């Protein structure tokens, strides 16, 4: 294989360089990959052996589907440094339906939704004209903004932690953040490109000496175990299928936004039709495979998009080493247990920076467009409604339960729908003739 740079998509770099960079991506997504299943297992009071199996399967599937995104098979995969994992966006829908209809109905609905997303993947090109940069940019900004509260929760110790918001958690979060900022700003080479990894490792070590690392999960985890498919059956209930289908559409849009965030933030260009189509197809097929292994739908992980935007490291071989680690974790549970023992406050210090960088990538995307016509109106209204309703879900409490469930849980869905609708109905030439929405920088300073 030809030699390459960590700042180039193709080519092989040394393992000495690649493995730390790959591990950065694993550390940034690991908790997010297993958390949805931990939540669902607790909700359904699954026995510990089923919980362990699902977490193991989640790591295995994330690694497999990440490899597909990195190195496409036929038309499936974007050929970009996209890291896949279990989507947390489906958790509210699962929480609302799983207790009544059972987990097998959730998995049946996931199969149907995956088929829909596969179909959408083949039609990304004709649909793309409805999703210009102003729309996808709004989605990317929404992704970043919607994740920041999650980063803050990690920063404070994680939801449900007895010491949530304690000075020790805040200290660890600030320590990791300070290390990352220092390395990114004042160092070069390995220290700069591996700033996230170094920050998390230092935070991990400090947390250990503070007595905040629990290794009981490492002791309990087995050495070797084979991922098991079809451990759960499939049921098909329309009451579960409909909200899952709508969430799959939102997931496809989020993936389009993530791909745009990677190409703009890491490659300084717009995503191609082939990349967008391949990414959505991989999303759909990955989610179909995930359902067979009892896992919630897979999707691109936005925190890893933020990592790419921050470090500019896009080399696929480097990311591949992280995917291999995830697959190995699916066979060697102790590996996964060591990573999962990282305190959430340590991850929070890194997450806040990465999530914010996603929003910055979206801003770069929208501000490349003409800002003197209708675009500022589309951006303002879609972000206002999306982020506002996502922050105040009670505003939709009198809508039908399915509508409230979908639109009040994520500003991403609302922002996308509003931006796409306004982009479709607002006549470009007319608004540009009658509306002057430019900002005079000198007046702004005054």
Tens-place pLDDT, residues 162-172: 778 888 889 99
Partners of residue 12 on adjacent β-strands: 3
- pLDDT value of position 66: 93
Beta-sheet strands, E only, within 1-126? 84-86
- pLDDT value of position 441: 47
- pLDDT value of position 436: 45
| DSSP conformational letter for 80 | S
- pLDDT value of position 291: 92
- pLDDT value of position 351: 77
Q: Which residues of the chain have pLDDT under 50?
A: 1-2, 431-439, 441-442, 444-446
Q: Using CA atoms, how far apart are residues 165 and 151, in angstroms rounded to an integer?
A: 13
- pLDDT value of position 107: 92
Q: Which residues, other chains included, contact 384 with Cβ-Cβ below 8 Å and sequence gap of 6+?
A: none
Is residue 299 within 8 A of residue 283, CB to CB? The reply is: yes
- pLDDT value of position 362: 79
- pLDDT value of position 439: 46
Q: Using CA atoms, how far apart are residues 438 and 372, in angstroms rounded to an integer?
A: 5
Q: Using CA atoms, how far apart are residues 267 and 280, in angstroms rounded to an integer?
A: 19
Q: Kindly report, residue by residue over 26-85, the tens digit of the pLDDT.
A: 777 776 677 677 667 766 777 766 777 888 888 899 999 999 999 999 889 888 988 898
Q: Kindly report, residue by residue over 356-403, the tens digit of the pLDDT.
A: 877 887 787 788 777 777 888 888 998 888 888 777 777 777 777 667
pTM over 0.85: no
222: buried, middle or exposed (CB in 10 Å: 19+, 13-18, 0-12)?
exposed
Is residue 193 within 8 A of residue 184, CB to CB? The reply is: no
């Amino acid at each position: 294989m030809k030699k390459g740079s960590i700042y180039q998509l193709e080519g092989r770099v040394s393992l000495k360089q690649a493995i730390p960079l790959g591990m950065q991506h694993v550390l940034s997504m690991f908790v997010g990959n297993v958390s949805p299943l931990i939540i669902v297992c607790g909700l359904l009071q699954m026995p510990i052996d089923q919980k362990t199996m699902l977490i193991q399967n989640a790591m295995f599937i994330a690694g497999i589907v990440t490899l597909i995104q990195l190195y496409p098979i036929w038309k499936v995969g974007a050929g970009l440094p996209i890291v896949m994992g279990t989507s947390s966006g489906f958790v509210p829908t699962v929480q609302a339906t799983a207790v009544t209809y059972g987990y097998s109905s959730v998995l049946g609905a996931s199969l149907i939704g995956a088929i829909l997303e596969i179909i959408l993947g083949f039609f990304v090109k004709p649909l793309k004209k409805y999703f210009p940069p102003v729309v996808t940019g709004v989605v990317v900004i929404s992704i970043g903004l919607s994740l920041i509260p999650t980063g803050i929760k990690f920063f404070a110790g994680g939801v449900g932690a007895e010491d949530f918001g304690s000075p020790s958690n805040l200290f660890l979060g600030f320590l990791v953040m300070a290390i990352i900022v220092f390395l990114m700003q004042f160092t070069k080479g390995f220290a700069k490109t591996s700033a996230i990894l170094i920050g998390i490792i230092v935070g991990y070590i400090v947390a250990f000496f503070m007595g905040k690392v629990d290794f009981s999960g490492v002791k309990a985890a087995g050495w070797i175990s084979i991922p098991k498919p079809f451990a759960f059956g499939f049921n098909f209930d329309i009451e579960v299928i409909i909200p899952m289908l709508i969430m799959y559409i939102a997931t496809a849009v989020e993936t389009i936004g993530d791909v745009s965030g990677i190409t703009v933030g890491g490659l300084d260009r717009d995503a191609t039709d082939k990349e967008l189509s391949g990414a959505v197809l991989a999303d759909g097929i990955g989610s179909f495979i995930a359902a067979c292994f009892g896992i919630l739908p897979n999707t691109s992980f936005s925190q890893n998009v933020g990592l790419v935007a921050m470090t500019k490291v896009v080399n696929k071989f480097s990311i591949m080493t992280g995917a291999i680690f995830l697959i190995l974790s699916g066979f060697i549970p102790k590996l996964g247990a060591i990573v999962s023992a990282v305190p959430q406050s340590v991850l929070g210090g890194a997450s806040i920076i990465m999530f914010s960088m996603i929003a910055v990538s979206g801003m770069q995307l929208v501000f490349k467009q003409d800002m003197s016509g209708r675009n500022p109106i589309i951006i303002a209204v879609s972000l206002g409604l999306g982020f506002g309703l996502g922050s105040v879900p009670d505003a939709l409490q009198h809508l039908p339960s399915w509508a409230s469930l979908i639109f009040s849980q994520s500003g991403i869905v609302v922002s996308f729908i509003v931006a796409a609708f306004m982009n479709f109905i607002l006549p470009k030439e007319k608004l540009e003739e009658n509306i002057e929405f430019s900002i005079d920088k000198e007046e702004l300073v005054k």
